[in-house]
Amino acid sequence: MIDEGRNNSYGGDDLDDELDYVVDLDHGSEAEADVTDETAAIATVNTSTDAKRKRDKNKKDSKLKKKLRMEEECDKKRQLALLPSDIIADYLAKRVKQVHKELSTIELNELYIPSSQIVQTSDFIDRELKSLPKFLKKYTSPKGEGSIIILSSSALRVCDVYRAIRSSVSSVKLISKNSLQHDKDLINKVHPKVLLSTPLRTVKLIDEQIISNSIETVVIDSTFLDVKKRHVVDDEHFAESMRQLKDRSVDCKFIFY
């Protein structure tokens, strides 16, 4: 005869053991899930950190490349005067296109300076401001009043250039702080051989017929860059001033210093 009570008691213990085992398995699964979640979180953080480092590196590399390109362009501008005439003409044409994107091909052609009108001066190595009087003596031959004009990027630079040459040649500085009438009176009083100005001021002086047709030589102060790395050819009025000077005298020569 089977003892049903004893058999049922034994079956209950087995069931409890099985339940405990299942609970243990559940706890184990939860623990494994926690570890997996933690690992995934760490992996996500690491991936995010790596991505940030990559972005920072790319940003740094981009800034470095931009800085190097800027330095290279500045060097080109400083060395412009030492290049052959045809290369100078090509460089000016490219700059005109960059500054005056709104102009048509015909309008752009009017602003270009042909290489035949650019005097090559690569044999003159010293381009310090103190050497400008010697440079003018070698490459220009002023025959009369106002026959040379020197174009600089700013009024401050015009003043610096004026101080460098005033003791060696009759000259006047024509800058925006003075009235156009003042400039006209000054030219009539001094009868200078050299005029010093900026591109915009030069355009205004020509428009007002204060600068005559006797300009034989245009000297571009091209080795100087200001604190913002701006060059005289970067001036939006540079090309127009060159065009007007060129049109007023077919024999006008352009010299880069």
Centre a 10 Å sphere on the Cβ of residue 138 and count the other Cβ atoms it contains: 12
Tokens standing for residue 159: 């003043």
Q: What is the pLDDT of residue 5?
A: 47
Strand arrangement, sheet containing 194-197? 118-119, 253-256, 217-220, 148-151, 194-197, 171-174
pTM over 0.85: no
**Which one is predicted more confidently, 15 or 95?**
95
Q: What is the pLDDT of residue 18?
A: 53
Selection from 195, 191, 211 nearest residue 203 by Cα? 211
**Which one is predicted more confidently, 255 or 142?**
255
Q: What is the pLDDT of residues 158-210, one digit of tens each?
A: 999 999 999 999 999 999 999 999 999 999 999 999 999 999 999 999 999 99
pLDDT band of residue 40 (cuts 50, 70, 90) is low
pLDDT band of residue 2 (cuts 50, 70, 90) is very low
Strand ranges in 74-160 using DSSP code E only, listed in sequence order: 118-119, 148-151
Lowest mean pLDDT among 18-22, 122-126, 194-198, 246-250: 18-22
CB 129 within 8 A of CB 159: no
Q: 191: helix, coil or strand?
A: coil
Token match 């926690």: residue? 34
